[in-house]
Amino acid sequence: MARGRLLRELARELVPSDLLRFVPKGFETIGDIAILNLPRELDEYKFEIARALLRRLSPHIRLVVRRASPARDPERVHEYEVLAGSGGLETLHKESGCIFKVDISRAFFSSRLQYERARIAGLVRPGEVVVNMFAGVGPFSIVIAKRVPDVKIYSIDVNPEAYKLMVENVKLNRVEDKVVPLLGDAAEVVDLYNLKGVADRVLMPSPEHAINYLAKAVESLKARGFIHYYDVARRVKDLRGYVLERVSPILDGAGTRWRVEGVREIRSVAPSKSYVCADLYVERKVMD
């Protein structure tokens, strides 16, 4: 049964009919933790809903939590309220033949990006050098490393807790020869570790922050390459036009030749907003 249907089915037994419209369309699972986004209108029923969900999904799910705050910058970490079950907020999540140690209270991770991570890995060619500017606990970097031969991925994150988990995950997945974890702000790391002009491909999987690092992403590229740029877009019919309006001043100002290879909506994050990814091909000026 689809997750949205399951949640609504359980809620029909617990929630008055006039409040059923507030029941979320689905929920997220990370490892053996289920994460609900319950609005305040359902506060009176949150524990009953969570216990019913836990009973239905046990033993695969041991803990049900509610996302209780927006992500805090710069670490992008949410706060969580435990509604049902036991154990901590650390778990092991399996995806695409990889395993990730995740603590949702310490570092950002979303299982809803599984398809996007696989899609990007499918674009990377053997022998490429990749700079991942917002790596988190390492899922994009590690999926690429496991799937693609002879790659080198510089995997950057500013959150010390995410960095520690990334280091563990690199070892856990035995990709130490391909993934180089680096701690720090992406713009500073590119300068500090001399990553200018090294990348065939730059990943920017932080929709809230990527626009501020786009110029530095261009600097990271070789004479030509790809930037996978993520953004939070208004719900508009012309996503391509929205992205063009956002990135054109920066890319044109950097003196590049560039084109949009494609724009796709990843998922809705609010009634009027979506996460989007633009695959950009960029040719930059190389100083003599």
Question: What pLDDT digit, counting tens, does each position of 9-47 carry?
Answer: 999 999 999 999 999 888 999 999 999 999 999 999 999
Q: Examine the pLDDT at 220 and tell me if it is beyond 60.
A: yes
Query: Contact at 8 Å (CB) between 147 and 123?
Result: no
Q: Do 186 and 276 share a structural domain?
A: yes
pLDDT of residue 238: 82
Q: How many whole angstroms separate alpha carbon 170 and alpha carbon 172?
A: 6
Quick one: 60 and 24 in the same domain?
A: yes
Give the model's pLDDT for residue 267: 83
Residue 103 lies in a domain: no
Residue in this structure with the two tokens 């300068």, named with its chain if needed: 191
- Residue 166: inside a domain: yes
Q: How large is the angle between the packed helices 114-123 and 139-147, nearest 10 degrees?
A: 50
81 with 191, same domain: the answer is no
Is 101 among the domain residues? Answer: no
188-197, 220-229, 238-247: range with lowest mean pLDDT: 238-247
User: 273 and 240 in one domain?
Assistant: yes
Do both 161 and 250 map to the same domain? yes
Residue 105 lies in a domain: no
Token pair 């059923």 is at which residue?
A: 20
Domains held by the chain: number = 2
The answer as to whether 184 is a domain residue is yes
Q: Are residues 31 and 130 in the same domain?
A: no
| pLDDT value, residue 284 | 84
**Closest by CA position to 227, among listed 253, 184, 263:** 263
Q: Residue 26 CA to chain centroid, in angstroms?
A: 18
CATH code, domain with 84: 3.30.300.110
pLDDT tens-digit map of 170-187: 999 999 999 999 999 999
Instruction: With a cut of 80, say whether residue 270 has pLDDT above it.
Output: no
What is the mean predicted confidence (pLDDT) over 182-201?
Answer: 97
Domain span holding position 197: 110-283
CATH number at residue 115: 3.40.50.150
- 152/253 same-domain check: yes
Task: Convert the chain into a string of H (helix), E (strand) and C (coil).
Answer: CCHHHHHHHHHHCCCCHHHHHHCCCCCEEECCEEEECCCHHHHHHHHHHHHHHHHHHCCCCCEEEEECCCCECCCCECCEEEEEECCCCEEEEEECCEEEEEECCCCCCCHHHHHHHHHHHHHCCCCCEEEECCCCCCHHHHHHHHHCCCCEEEEEECCHHHHHHHHHHHHHCCCCCCEEEEECCHHHHHHHCCCCCCEEEEEECCCCCHHHHHHHHHHHEEEEEEEEEEEEEECCCCHHHHHHHHHHHHHHHCCCEEEEEEEEEEEEEECCEEEEEEEEEEECCCCC
Q: Quote the pLDDT of residue 288.
A: 42
Q: How confident is the model at residue 77 (pLDDT cuts 50, 70, 90)?
A: confident
Is the four-CA dihedral 89, 95, 97, 98 of positive or negative sign? negative
Assess if residue 97 is contained within a domain.
no
40-71 tens-digit pLDDT: 999 999 999 999 999 999 999 999 999 887 76
pLDDT in the model for residue 71: 65
Same domain, 125 and 20: no
Q: Could you tell me if residue 93 is inside a domain? A: no
